[in-house]
Structure formats: structure tokens, C-alpha cells
């Protein structure tokens, strides 16, 4: 260990993360990123910095409480930066961190893939429902 490096830091650096392992801390972050509101929030912020109410309007259907919880979780994970302006009334802006931007790019690729495949998905649902209804 080098000077200033604690055993805890060393252990942390050597830890291999495996999202499939029950105790892996990456599971929580994956949940924050891939949950309905987390994914949509990251996607919306990819377009640029937004204030809370702008973000709430962009992520149609999210409640104020859920958006607030989502933003706190994403900020804690280092994906979103919250900047409070000392104005009256207070102004708070949210933007992606470099890590958040990297994650959002990959997430948006998945979102676009799903959107592009929706005709096939809807046809598959219809076939499935017809088959299940016939049983």
C-alpha cells in the first residue's frame, strides 16, 4: 500500500463487481439507471441542464415525489449534478455528470432500439394474446 492509502481503499480497489451476485453494490445503481423514472430522467437530462419542473414536464407522468427520489438516487450514484442558485425564489438546475452522460448514451441506444422495434413488439403481443385467448 502507498502512503495515504487505507486498507479499506485497497480492498475497495481490488473488488470485482458482479451484478449477478446478491450483495454486489452495482445492483442498486443498475436499478436506479434502468428503473422507469431513472432511465427517463437520464434520457431527458442528456438533452441538457433542466430545472426540476422542466424535468417533470419532460418526464411525463412522474410525480413530484418520485422525481425527487430519483434525482437524489442518481445524484448519490454520481450520475446527476444538482446546482442550487442563491436566488429568490431559489433556482435548482440538474445536469448529467460525465459518468451520467456515458451511462445515458448507452441507455438512449437501448431506448431507440426499443422504439424502433415497437411495430414488431406490438405484433408479437397481438399474436401472444390471440394464442392465449384461444386456450
The correct answer on CATH 1.10.10.10 for the domain covering 13-134 is: yes
Reported for 63-67, long-range contacts at CB under 8 A and 24+ positions apart, including other chains, are 66/37, 67/37, 67/41
Residue 109 has pLDDT above 90, yes or no: yes
Distance CA 23, CA 32 (A): 16
Q: In this predicted model, what pLDDT tens digit does every residue of 25-48 receive, in sequence order?
A: 999 999 999 999 999 999 999 999
Put simply, whether the predicted model's pTM sits higher than 0.85 gets the answer: no
Spans of all domains in the chain: 13-134
Distance CA 111, CA 60 (A): 16
Amino acid at each position: 500500500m502507498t502512503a495515504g492509502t487505507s486498507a479499506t481503499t485497497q480492498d475497495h480497489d481490488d473488488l470485482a463487481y458482479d451484478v449477478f451476485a446478491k450483495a454486489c453494490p452495482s445492483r442498486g445503481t443498475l436499478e436506479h439507471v434502468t428503473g422507469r423514472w431513472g432511465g427517463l430522467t437520464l434520457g431527458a437530462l442528456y438533452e441538457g441542464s433542466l430545472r426540476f419542473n422542466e424535468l417533470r414536464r419532460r418526464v411525463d407522468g412522474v410525480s413530484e415525489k418520485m422525481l425527487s427520489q430519483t434525482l437524489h438516487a442518481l445524484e448519490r450514484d454520481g450520475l446527476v449534478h444538482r446546482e442550487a442558485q442563491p436566488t429568490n425564489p431559489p433556482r435548482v438546475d440538474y445536469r448529467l455528470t460525465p459518468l451520467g452522460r456515458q451511462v445515458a448514451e448507452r441507455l438512449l441506444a437501448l431506448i431507440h432500439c426499443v422504439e424502433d422495434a415497437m411495430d414488431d413488439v406490438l405484433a408479437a403481443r397481438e399474436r401472444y394474446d390471440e394464442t392465449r385467448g384461444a386456450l
